[in-house]
Amino acid sequence: MDFKDKVVIVTGASSGIGKSCAEEFAKRGAKVVLAARQFVTLCEIAAGLEQKYGVKALAVQADVTKEEECEQLIKQAVSTFGKVDILLNSAGISMRALFIEMDLSVIRTVMEVNFYGAVYCTKFALPEILKTKGAIVGVSSSAGYRGLPGRTAYTASKFALNGFMEALRTELLRKGVLVMVASPGFTTSNIRVTALDKNGEMHGATNMDEGKMMSPEEVAERIANGIAGRKRDLIMTVQGKLAIWMNKLFPALTDKLVYKHYQKEGTLKE
């Protein structure tokens, strides 16, 4: 796919993977629509992209947990640029807490952002993407294939997203629309800092080694290349691929290995 003059909507575009994806598409000549709750930040990013790459960029304030705001996002994109070619559902939130200690509101919050946010945006963008035979992308995780302890809500949201995207892909099998699930590894973005604790408050800084993580820029480049190559699933790390296959072939052993890993992290308690 040549991205020049394609219209790309990116949710969660104010930081992290979303912001890097917006820049990657702009670099490749696309017109970008940036969506997030932080409108001032979005406007600054959009202006920077226009100046740096000579493309058109539109900032739209939108909370993906609100159905009506997702609908308005798509309407504004079509009103401004006349079409939608690609929807990148990258808005996301994480959490770290044991289920037994966690307030149930945490699950609702994570599901609303990670799952329903993608559902709402996809619902309103789909009629336009059918016209252009474009692409719908969901940013998932290896947690969408293998449950992670201390991340029950996050895991549930990504399993739900993966199932939704798979069903949608099958529905659109003969419509010429690409439906891709992109699963990065641990990424150096603020999603870890803003991860919710058991009470729904932000955890803050983590002690994870960022030197071993993917950068948002690397993730963005791989997502763009995946769309261009019309990939179905994009699992970006060897560790992620290994975990998925181990879980299929040796599920009981994988339970023990995952338990041991997160026990070292301090997530699990004896």
DSSP helix/strand/coil, 94: coil
116 is catalytic: no
Integer Cα distance of 111 and 113 in angstroms: 6
Candidates 225, 219, 118; CA nearest to 162 is: 118
Contact present, 47 and 54 (Cβ < 8 Å): no
* CA 119-120-124 angle, 5° bins: 115
Q: Output 39-42 pairs: Cβ under 8 A, ≥24 positions apart.
A: 41/14, 41/15, 42/13, 42/14
Q: Given the residues 116, 154, 259, 262, select the one marked as catalytic.
A: 154
Candidates 20, 2, 171; CA nearest to 10 is: 20
Torsional class of 48: left (φ above 0), alpha (ψ -120 to 50), beta (otherwise): alpha
Question: Looking at the annotation, which residues are catalytic?
Answer: 154
